[in-house]
Amino acid sequence: MAGEDEIEGGNRDEEQVHFHSANLSSDWPFNGPNDLTNTSMSMITSSNPMNNTSCSSAPMIDSFCHTAPTVWDHHPTNSQNLGAFCDMNLQNNAATSSSSLGFRKGNLVPARNLDMCWAPANSAIKRGGMFLPPAASNILPHSLSQFPADSGFIERAARLSSFSAGNFEDMINPFGSVPESSLSPYSSRAMQGQPQDGFVGNGFKSASAQGSKDMPLVVDCGGANDGSQSKNERQSESFVRSVHEAKQGGSGFSGNNVASEAEFSEGGGGQDDNSNEGLDSKKRRRGDQDTDYNQVKRSPQTPSEATKNNTEVQQKGDNNPNSVANKSSGKHGKQVSQSSDIQKEEYIHVRARRGQATNSHSLAERVRREKISERMKFLQDLVPGCSKVTGKAVMLDEIINYVQSLQRQVEFLSMKLATVNPRMDFNIEGLLAKDMLESRGGSSGTLGFGPDMAMPYTPNSSQMAIMQGGLSGLGSSSDAVRRTINSHLMAVGGYKDPTSQVPSSWDDELHNIVQMGLNPSTPISSQNLGSTPPGHLKAEP
Partner 1 sequence: MSPSQQPSSHNPTCLIKNRFAHRFVRALNNLNIKNRSPHDENQIYRRSHRVKIAAYAAMASVVGSKRAWSRAVLWKVRNRSRNQGLLVSSRRKRVDCKSKTSNDHHAKVSVVRRRNPNPKREDLDPFRYSGQELKLRKLVPGAATMDSCCLMDETADYIKCLAAQVEVMKTLVDFYTTT
Site residues for partner 1, 349-368, by CB under 8 A, read: 361, 365, 368
User: Helix (H, G, I), strand (E, B), or coil: what is residue 174?
Assistant: coil
Q: Which of 119, 178, 474, 537 binds partner 1 (CB under 8 A)?
A: 474
Alpha-carbon Rg of the chain, whole angstroms? 37
User: Least distance from C-beta 184 to partner 1, angstroms?
Assistant: 52
Contacts of 46 (CB under 8 A, 6+ apart): none
Q: Based on CB atoms, which residue is closest to partner 1, 27 or 381?
A: 381
User: Least distance from C-beta 448 to partner 1, angstroms?
Assistant: 10
User: Least distance from C-beta 419 to partner 1, angstroms?
Assistant: 6
Q: Based on CB atoms, which residue is closest to partner 1, 205 or 368?
A: 368
Size of the site for partner 1 (CB under 8 A): 75
Q: How many of the other CB atoms lie within 10 Å of CB of 26?
A: 13
Helices (H), 251-384: 255-269, 276-290, 294-298, 303-319, 321-327, 330-347, 360-382
Are 133 and 184 in contact by the 8 Å Cβ rule? The answer is yes
Dist. CA 332–CA 13, nearest whole Å: 12
Q: Which of 28, 131, 347, 449 binds partner 1 (CB under 8 A)?
A: 449
Nearest 5°: the CA angle 530, 532, 535 is 105
Q: Based on CB atoms, which residue is closest to partner 1, 225 or 380?
A: 380
User: Least distance from C-beta 54 to partner 1, angstroms?
Assistant: 21
Regarding 508 and contact with partner 1 (CB under 8 A), the answer is: no
**Secondary structure, 3-state, 378-389:** HHHHHCCCCCCC
Output 506-512 pairs: Cβ under 8 A, ≥24 positions apart: 506/384, 507/457, 507/459, 508/459, 510/457, 511/457, 511/458, 511/459
Of residues 109-148, those binding partner 1 (CB under 8 A): none
Q: Based on CB atoms, which residue is closest to partner 1, 13 or 411?
A: 411
Regarding 105 and contact with partner 1 (CB under 8 A), the answer is: no
| DSSP 8-state class, residue 434 | H
**Best CA proximity match to 29, nearest among 77, 68, 99, 67:** 77
Q: Based on CB atoms, which residue is closest to partner 1, 175 or 378?
A: 378
Q: Based on CB atoms, which residue is closest to partner 1, 1 or 418?
A: 418
Regarding 464 and contact with partner 1 (CB under 8 A), the answer is: no
Q: Which of 109, 447, 537, 539 binds partner 1 (CB under 8 A)?
A: 447
Are 223 and 146 in contact by the 8 Å Cβ rule? The answer is yes
Q: Which of 94, 217, 243, 514 binds partner 1 (CB under 8 A)?
A: 514
Q: Based on CB atoms, which residue is closest to partner 1, 169 or 438?
A: 438
Are 274 and 95 in contact by the 8 Å Cβ rule? The answer is yes
Q: Based on CB atoms, which residue is closest to partner 1, 127 or 511?
A: 511
Of residues 522-541, those binding partner 1 (CB under 8 A): 541
Are 539 and 427 in contact by the 8 Å Cβ rule? The answer is no
Of residues 26-65, those binding partner 1 (CB under 8 A): none
Of residues 368-427, those binding partner 1 (CB under 8 A): 368-369, 371-372, 375-376, 378-379, 382-383, 392-393, 396-397, 399-400, 402-404, 406-407, 409-411, 413-422, 424-425, 427
